[in-house]
């Protein structure tokens, strides 16, 4: 039985006003913005209605048994039909911005610009943007959040083929043309590390291809970086002056804390950060991959019998084209992992973890969540933010995802409230004490949704969704009122300085 909404309000306010010695009592800057985030496949549903084409997550969920609860995103939160209700909830929540993604195959069913543009899909996103505009909520739009049109995968192997660069650029340009006058923040790709490492190395994300470990993931990243740069240059040249927006790529990483003060563990931490975050950040800031990646992968490749490095090389022109293709850094961060120096794994069949050769593990004393990988380590967000500042020329940072998972059916989500309070407290410390230029924060996620291969077994939403009810009713968790108060007051505790 649902808890009465009035009780939730009073309960959450009691959490808000309760003195918490750990939380920072400084206000966020007046210009700091708060939002929430979602992704198209995880919430929309309507997988085959109104002309939408098939994508790689449709194919994976329909033709494999990889999803833990054998569920699909066929209906998900049914936001395709319930978007007006959702946007009304966003208005009530009081967010400054909403980060959502376009379903490429809803706009271009085959993925190709020379195919038929799906008017119903275009209208759907136009209506979302109109509703946001009415409520004074800014749109942050992601072009690609893992749901590649299946035909592009079938025709040329998707992101493993340079053909993808032009096809993606055409799609991006269409999106700028259709929606750009109402979008001030664009994201080209969400988490390319996950797209490549989990899509083409360990099979934990679509298309779940694992035939060439240690090779395909590097090809994937190389193609994505060139596609990102091409879309960025198109926006910069043809749309920025009239649309006055910003564009970037969103990168994900844990903070990798050295397991000890030993210099070797410090080296291991830095190497792991560079093989994950630096893999993409280094090219867009400096033009090329981190030197530690270049050196280690080439050395191991030669020893493995390859004639050249498994890590592809950029041409001089590509280096110049990729360098500087960010207006801010989008950071998705959830948790922290310990990094420990390891003797290099013996030469054998290639694999990316062998290229890194760093032991990673969690501290068993850290508070957990419904996700086995997500431990509550609030100070990690401060450390990774400062590391980005120091390593990548003090960029503007927008935290584009940060959140906590429960098992569902939980309305008194005091642990999520605590997660937000403590992580945001460390964001304040990063801003005021470390001088990090963090300008905005998006909670993941607005709604409980389809959590990829974990299906509906883990829930990240501020709002609970009843997936057993065909109407998919939304119910606020106690974190809704806490987050609402943060946005209204720019304050985490009862008395701010």
Per-residue pLDDT of the chain (497 residues; tens, 9 = 90+): 333 343 344 334 344 333 344 689 999 999 999 999 999 999 999 999 999 999 999 999 999 999 999 999 999 999 999 999 999 999 999 999 999 999 999 999 999 998 899 999 999 999 999 999 999 999 999 999 999 999 999 999 999 999 999 999 999 999 999 999 999 999 999 999 999 999 999 999 999 999 999 999 999 999 999 999 999 999 999 999 999 999 999 999 999 999 999 999 999 999 999 999 999 999 999 999 999 999 999 999 999 999 999 999 999 999 999 999 999 999 999 999 999 999 999 999 999 999 999 999 999 999 999 999 999 999 999 999 999 999 999 999 999 999 999 999 999 999 999 999 999 999 999 999 999 999 999 999 999 999 999 999 999 999 999 999 999 999 999 999 999 999 999 999 877 87
How far is 106 from 139, CA to CA, in rounded Å?
19
Residue 456: which of 73, 190, 99 has the closest Cα?
73
Contact (CB, 8 A) for 358 and 277: no
Give the CA angle between residues 292, 294, 298 to the nearest 5°.
115
**Tens digit of pLDDT for each residue in 372-386?**
999 999 999 999 999
**Annotated catalytic residue within 54, 191, 340, 422:** 191
CATH fold of 5-12+34-489, please? TIM Barrel (3.20.20)
Domain borders along the chain are 5-12+34-489
Tokens 């943060």 locate to 486
- pLDDT tens for 451-489 read 999 999 999 999 999 999 999 999 999 999 999 999 999
Q: Are strands 138-144 and 97-101 parallel, antiparallel or unpaired?
A: parallel
What does the pLDDT read at residue 22?
61
Residue 318 a catalytic site member: no
Active site residue 44: no
Q: Check 318, 401, 422, 458 and give the catalytic one.
A: 401
């Amino acid at each position: 039985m649902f808890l009465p909404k009035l009780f939730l309000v009073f309960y959450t306010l009691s959490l808000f006003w309760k003195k918490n010695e750990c939380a920072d009592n400084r206000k966020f800057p007046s210009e700091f913005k708060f939002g929430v985030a979602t992704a198209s496949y995880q919430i929309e549903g309507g997988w085959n209605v109104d002309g939408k084409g098939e994508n790689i997550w449709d194919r994976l969920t329909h033709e494999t048994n990889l999803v833990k609860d054998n569920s699909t995103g066929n209906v998900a939160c049914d936001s395709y039909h319930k978007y007006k209700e959702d946007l009304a909830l966003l208005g009530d929540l009081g967010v400054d911005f909403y980060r959502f993604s376009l379903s490429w195959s809803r706009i271009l069913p085959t993925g190709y610009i020379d195919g038929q543009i799906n008017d119903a899909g275009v209208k759907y996103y136009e209506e979302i943007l109109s509703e946001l505009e009415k409520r004074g909520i800014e749109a942050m739009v992601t072009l690609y959040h893992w749901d590649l049109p299946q035909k592009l995968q079938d025709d040329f192997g998707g992101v493993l083929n340079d053909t993808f660069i032009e096809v993606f650029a055409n799609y991006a340009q269409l999106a700028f043309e259709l929606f750009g006058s109402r979008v001030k923040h664009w994201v080209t790709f969400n988490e390319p590390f996950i797209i490549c490492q989990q899509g083409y190395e360990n099979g934990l994300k679509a298309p779940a291809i694992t035939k060439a470990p240690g090779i395909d993931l590097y090809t994937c990243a190389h193609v994505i970086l060139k596609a990102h740069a091409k879309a960025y240059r198109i926006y910069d040249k043809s749309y920025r002056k009239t649309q006055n927006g910003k564009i970037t790529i969103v990168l994900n990483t844990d903070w990798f804390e050295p397991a000890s003060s030993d210099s070797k563990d410090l080296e291991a931490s830095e190497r792991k950060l560079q093989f994950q975050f630096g893999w993409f950040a280094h090219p867009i800031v400096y033009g090329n991959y981190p030197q530690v990646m270049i050196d280690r992968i080439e050395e191991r490749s030669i020893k493995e019998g390859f004639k050249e490095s498994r890590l592809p090389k950029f041409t001089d022109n590509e280096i110049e084209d990729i360098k500087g293709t960010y207006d801010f850094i989008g950071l998705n961060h959830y948790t922290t992992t310990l990094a420990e120096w390891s003797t290099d794994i013996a030469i054998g069949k290639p694999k990316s973890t062998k290229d890194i050769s760093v032991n990673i593990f969690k501290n068993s004393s850290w508070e957990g969540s419904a996700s086995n990988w997500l431990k509550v380590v609030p100070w990690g967000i401060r450390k990774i933010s400062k590391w980005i500042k120091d390593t990548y020329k003090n960029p503007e940072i927008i935290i584009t995802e940060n959140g906590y998972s429960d098992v569902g059916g939980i309305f008194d989500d005091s642990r999520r409230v605590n997660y937000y309070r403590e992580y945001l407290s460390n964001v304040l410390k990063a801003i005021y004490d470390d001088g990090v230029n963090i300008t905005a924060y998006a909670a993941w996620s607005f709604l409980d949704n389809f959590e990829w291969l974990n299906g509906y077994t883990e829930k990240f939403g501020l709002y609970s969704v009843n997936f057993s009810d065909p109407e998919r009713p939304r119910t606020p968790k106690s974190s809704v009122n806490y987050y609402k108060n943060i946005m209204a007051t720019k304050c985490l505790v009862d008395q701010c300085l």
